[in-house]
Structure 1
């Protein structure tokens, strides 16, 4: 039996749908339900003859599950899974359904109803691009997403050769951080793209390199500019003193 895929977001809730057609209302006192997760056959949620019974619920699902008891008689056995974790990714959930008659004899038994494959994802932060003109490199980084992304660099002419991206997984949250560097030249329109395969989501950041990416030229320009400014200052001082000197001579001659 094939499973139905559902994509959920880390920290949010998802509904695992399960609806059984029933011509008559289901007697809850004869109903047994077990939501199970693969691959480890963990008990996710249980309902046993009129009441919820989570005594055997796996600890990873504690306080994270909910069924809708008022809708059970109509055959709605859907499960709400709350506060999605990275560890929920790629798990398959199914329902074990057992129903008895008033004498305790089994009248219905379904071992694997409503197979659902859960994929968990989280969007990455918008990429940050930093340009280092001294090293003639640009670095792109993004954090806090799931699952592992891909990173590409492009300019106005197409894809760029880049260093192998560095990918680090947060040991507590299970999310990923990614960074990569690329060599730069002048007048590039650089775009860094982060692609999340589960969400089919691409985030882009674009930066433009300046006309001069040679740091030695930048330093030379500063030095030359400073020298010209100093020279003009000296010329002004000399001119001022010369004019003042000529003025003093005229005044002296007039007095004589």
Structure 2
């Protein structure tokens, strides 16, 4: 088995016993995809699988010495490769399994909308897995939805959404995206009871201030009403004046 990082170049080894009329055919997979063909002392690429076009070559100066190794660029096609060689004297068939190594997780995106947090990453290989965790660890069950999509370049995009069941708890939420070779972790959300306590303290202070103001207002109203009542019970100065009315003629007689 040959393991190569995705996108790198590699050499698939193959050798044969030298002789005249050399034929070299490289075939990939059980479907018989033609990777590279050589006979009549030159490349024969008319039937080459389009995925391998401009990505394969032989060591022409070493074929006469029995070297049928294939150079493959931009590795992305893992699987079993068959090297078939023949000359006027003999035939030979050999196999090699190419495994494409993981592509490093370079970036993770995190988004939070209300009580929903999303973790995602793109351009990963091989197919990744995504897991959620908390710090400190807990036994809570996560309400998640995870999607994995494969692109035309045989890379993978992954996205997972988590619905927070109790946003008020003092917990750090993290997601980890991993493959066989590497992984990445992102801290997505942290809620603290201290923040809630501060808000409660502020609200309590505001309520207390309102109560004090209301009490002061009631006191002022009571004092005002009391003063007014006292004023109303005192005889008016104009009412205390004696009005002398004119005497009638009978009274004057």
Q: Which bracket does the TM-score occupy, shorter chain normalised? A: 0.5 to 0.7
1:189 deviation in Å? 2.9
CA distance in 2, matches of 1:39, 1:213: 62
Partner of residue 57, structure 1: 48
1:169 aligned onto 2:149: yes
CA distance in 1, matches of 2:23, 2:203: 81
Distance 1:97 1:221, change over 3 A: farther
1:112-156: CA deviation from partner (whole Å, max 9, x where unpaired)? 313223436433333233344x32x43221112123211112222
CA distance in 2, matches of 1:207, 1:96: 53
1:170 deviation in Å? 4.8
1:220 deviation in Å? 9.4
CA distance in 2, matches of 1:171, 1:75: 39
1:98 aligned onto 2:86: yes
1:74 aligned onto 2:65: yes
| The structure with more radius of gyration | 2
Matched position secondary structure for 1:70: helix
1:194 deviation in Å? 0.6
Cα RMSD (Å): 3.4
Partner of residue 134, structure 2: 155
**Which of residues 23, 34, 53 in structure 2 aligns to 1:43?**
34
Alpha carbons 1:17, 1:114 under 8 Å: kept: no
CA distance in 1, matches of 2:23, 2:58: 13
**Which of residues 91, 96, 112 in structure 2 aligns to 1:109?**
91
Alpha carbons 1:145, 1:175 under 8 Å: kept: yes
Alpha carbons 1:185, 1:209 under 8 Å: kept: no
**Which of residues 4, 10, 27 in structure 2 aligns to 1:7?**
4
1:44 deviation in Å? 0.8
Stretch deviating more after TM superposition (73-82 or 177-186): 177-186
The number of residue pairs the alignment matches comes to 205
1:146 aligned onto 2:120: no
CA distance in 1, matches of 2:94, 2:146: 42
1:33 deviation in Å? 0.5
TM-score by length of 1: 0.65
1:207-234: CA deviation from partner (whole Å, max 9, x where unpaired)? 561414988x869959978xx8xxxxxx
